[in-house]
Amino acid sequence: MADKEIVETSEAEIAVHWQEEDYIYPSTKFIAQANMTDEGIYERFSLDNFPECFKEYADLLEWFKYWEKTLDTSDAPCWKWFVGGRINACYNCVDRHLEKNKNKTAIHFVPEPENEPIQHITYQELYVKVNELAGLLRDFAGLKKGDTVTLHLPMVAELPITMLACARLGIIHSEVFGGFSGKACSDRIVDSGSKVLITMDAYYRNGKLLNHKKNADEAVEEAKKEGQKVDKVLIWQRYPGKSSSQTPMVDGRDYFINDLIKEYHANIVEPVSMPAEDPLFLMYTSGTTGKPKGCQHSTGGYLAYVTGTSKYIQDIHPEDVYWCMADIGWITGHSYIVYGPLALAASTVIYEGVPTYPDPGRPWRIAEELDVNIFHTAPTAIRALRKYGPDEPEKYNYHFKHMTTVGEPIEPEVWKWYYNVVGKGEAVIVDTWWQTENGGFLCSTVPALKPMRPGSAGPGVPGIHPIIFDEDGKQIKRGEGKAGNICIQNPWPGAFQTIWRDRDRYVEQYYEKYCTNKDSKDWRDWPYLAGDAAVEADDGYYRILGRIDDVINVSGHRLGTKEIESVALLVDEVAEAAVIPVADDIKGKVPDLYVALKPGKKASPELADKISNAVCDSIGKIAKPKNVWIVSDMPKTRSGKIMRRVLAALSNKKDVGDVTTLANPHIVDEIKEMVQK
């Protein structure tokens, strides 16, 4: 019963059912220059050639020592890749490019205010900055290999610089999305066990210089209550030499990096030779229970996988100017703004602000000025740009050869605008399906080899072998026209290694469902459960329908319904809370929050605001409920369980189905009146 209820209120359940669209073929011009035009890649990466096939990706990197075992399954399902190998991620993204590319731009930093100049940081400059910071982290902050450090940085060049400095020393970085609140940052500090927090005093968002330092104070304060003491807060200045935050510095705890770093002028730090399977970073994401989980990513396997997919799926060449408009605070930014493009010596663009600021022509002006030729973003941004500036792209003289969509299902209509208007009919599109846990792409076309189909992600990328199971573990075959739970049959090098300090949860959530023998050391017995519903068409293209669990994908970002509900329950007046996903024109899905009050408490618009603000303060604006519905009672089963299915139907203006078996069927009409008026 419990499972049934979860499935029925999921995103997949309320997903739109699109028609299968016709194929669109890549241009000969694209194919002529593409990195991967050999059909043989699918054969080379077939299950018969697994796992050795992934040597092809690992060979794109420079290893200090070659590995002895490609895949070690002895601790299944915690996979270890390239065991015995030694490598450094920073060395591969920076040092090794100096010989040929030191004068080439590594990072174009585009500040949000349009009157501030774009900064172009060459590989040599990046090398210098990373080394100086690494010296500071080691000698001043006392950080060393295996330590964790929390970063709460916005979209500025200092973020990849900090990540790379950590990677150079083997420090495990854990970047928290800049838009998250101090409280959300604190939860991640506590879970990761960080003693150092690295942040920035302020940054621009939608025309305002936001005080970000205050979040650090809050985070440190909260973490202390939970028993995690942060000794040092290292603060980058948005304007070097000047403090941009009113929040005072705490003596003996807070330090401006821009002051300290002067001591480390031209300092060189040898990159630490890391075992391939040591962790590179943690990335927290929402799961089915309240607590966010730290996905632990490896050094060698992860870097090999993001480099391979950046080269063959993103088609990145060293001479490309590549712009991924995601936030580095999410996995997309780690893999496809920082590690993948830099490993390939490309120029990667980092834009500080909002795509529609100061107007929806902004992205296209940036593309024109920097001559960006590869563009990568999410359906949410595409929908917003289409809504507010449908005719903007043609006003600007830029040309993309390749575009990516990621993070949520894209409606064929929106896809076509992206293709015809943003891409001017010239660019290929890859619709890449994957997750924080996966390190890199799972499904996508290889752009020069397979045609595009609007609304479908495509087949598994080389080396990824998806399979769809029904609830009982029976395979749903290609072309059956039925949706089921999409799984991956085999491990791959980009896959996370475990949930930080919670192996049991890792096994239970991702591997237990379809594992037939829990003692098995054979990877074939451990299909990976992604948590999405999908359909496989006749041609092996997968269409992803959305989450099957208690996770809502808002603008391509995952939020746990339980996380939001537990915040609402902290508001004094609230007795019960239920969150369900509701379809939204721009953001894909947004949370709708239903609350019932304690006896004697009165509903009011002020109370609704208070509850909504509590959610924003605790998690961040991204979690803001579309509505806070204060209801006199929740629809409940006779055993007292809240029927989220009914609430989901009401919010999405769908048929509520049979409610006669509820304990309080009359409440449905009352809520309907309120929600649908």
DSSP string of 481-501, one letter each residue:
---EEEEESS--TTS--EETT
Q: Contact between 432 and ligand WTA (CB under 6 A)?
A: yes
List the beta bridge partners of residue 374.
322, 402
Q: Contact between 553 and ligand WTA (CB under 6 A)?
A: yes
Q: Which of 218, 392, 431, 563 binds ligand WTA (CB under 6 A)?
A: 431
336/357 with CB nearer ligand WTA: 336
Neighbours of 572 (CB within 10 A): 9
Report, in Å, the least distance between residue 336 CB and ligand WTA. 9
Report, in Å, the least distance between residue 551 CB and ligand WTA. 7
Stretch that binds ligand WTA, among 88-96, 234-242, 465-473, 524-532 (CB under 6 A): 524-532
Q: Contact between 6 and ligand WTA (CB under 6 A)?
A: no
Q: Contact between 435 and ligand WTA (CB under 6 A)?
A: yes
How many residues bind ligand WTA (CB under 6 A)? The answer is 24
Q: Contact between 414 and ligand WTA (CB under 6 A)?
A: no
Which residue of this chain has its Cβ atom nearest to ligand WTA in the complex? 436
Q: Which of 137, 476, 544, 597 binds ligand WTA (CB under 6 A)?
A: 544
131/314 with CB nearer ligand WTA: 314
- CA separation for the pair 334, 360 (Å, rounded): 26
Q: Contact between 350 and ligand WTA (CB under 6 A)?
A: no
DSSP string of 601-668, one letter each residue:
----HHHHHHHHHHHHHHTBGGG--S-EEEESS--B-TT--B-HHHHHHHHTT------TTSS-THHH
Q: Contact between 535 and ligand WTA (CB under 6 A)?
A: no
Report, in Å, the least distance between residue 326 CB and ligand WTA. 8
Report, in Å, the least distance between residue 10 CB and ligand WTA. 10
3-state secondary structure of 108: strand
236/510 with CB nearer ligand WTA: 510
82/281 with CB nearer ligand WTA: 281
- CA separation for the pair 65, 47 (Å, rounded): 27
Tokens of 61: 């990197």
List C-alpha distances in Å: 539 to 21, 75, 453, 535, 595: 12, 36, 11, 11, 45
Q: Which residue has the tokens 């796992």?
A: 51
Stretch that binds ligand WTA, among 267-275, 445-453, 506-514, 546-554 (CB under 6 A): 546-554
Identify the helix (H) or strand (E) that includes residue 133. helix 123-139
List the beta bridge partners of residue 630.
595
- CA separation for the pair 113, 662 (Å, rounded): 55
Q: Contact between 285 and ligand WTA (CB under 6 A)?
A: yes
Q: Which residues contact 488 (CB under 8 A, 6 or more apart)?
A: 442, 460, 464, 465, 466, 467, 527, 528, 530
Q: Contact between 175 and ligand WTA (CB under 6 A)?
A: no
Q: Contact between 356 and ligand WTA (CB under 6 A)?
A: no
427/530 with CB nearer ligand WTA: 530
CA angle 44, 49, 52 (to 5 degrees): 100
Q: Contact between 433 and ligand WTA (CB under 6 A)?
A: yes
* Residues 68 to 87 in contact with ligand WTA, rule: CB under 6 A: none
Report, in Å, the least distance between residue 371 CB and ligand WTA. 27
- CA separation for the pair 307, 664 (Å, rounded): 56
Residue 265 DSSP code? T
How many residues are recorded in the chain? Answer: 677
Q: Contact between 546 and ligand WTA (CB under 6 A)?
A: yes
Q: Contact between 406 and ligand WTA (CB under 6 A)?
A: yes
Binding characters for ligand WTA, 98-137, by CB under 6 A (x = yes): ----------------------------------------
Q: Contact between 409 and ligand WTA (CB under 6 A)?
A: yes
Q: Contact between 436 and ligand WTA (CB under 6 A)?
A: yes
Q: Contact between 434 and ligand WTA (CB under 6 A)?
A: yes
* Residues 556 to 585 in contact with ligand WTA, rule: CB under 6 A: 557-558
Q: Contact between 649 and ligand WTA (CB under 6 A)?
A: no
**CA of residue 624 relative to chain centroid, distance:** 19
DSSP string of 170-203, one letter each residue:
T-EEEEPPTTB-HHHHHHHHHHHT-SEEEEESEE
Q: Which of 332, 348, 618, 651 binds ligand WTA (CB under 6 A)?
A: 332
- CA separation for the pair 612, 167 (Å, rounded): 38
List the beta bridge partners of residue 202.
211
Specify the amino acid at residue 135: G
143/559 with CB nearer ligand WTA: 559
Stretch that binds ligand WTA, among 17-25, 66-74, 176-184, 539-547 (CB under 6 A): 539-547
Stretch that binds ligand WTA, among 49-57, 210-218, 345-353, 402-410 (CB under 6 A): 402-410
Q: Which residues contact 621 (CB under 8 A, 6 or more apart)?
A: 179
Q: Contact between 408 and ligand WTA (CB under 6 A)?
A: yes
**CA of residue 229 relative to chain centroid, distance:** 28
Q: Which of 160, 182, 393, 407 binds ligand WTA (CB under 6 A)?
A: 407
331/342 with CB nearer ligand WTA: 331
Strands 542-547 and 551-554: unpaired
Q: Where along the sequence are the contacts to ligand WTA (CB under 6 A)? A: 285, 330-332, 406-409, 431-436, 457, 530-532, 544, 546-547, 553, 557-558
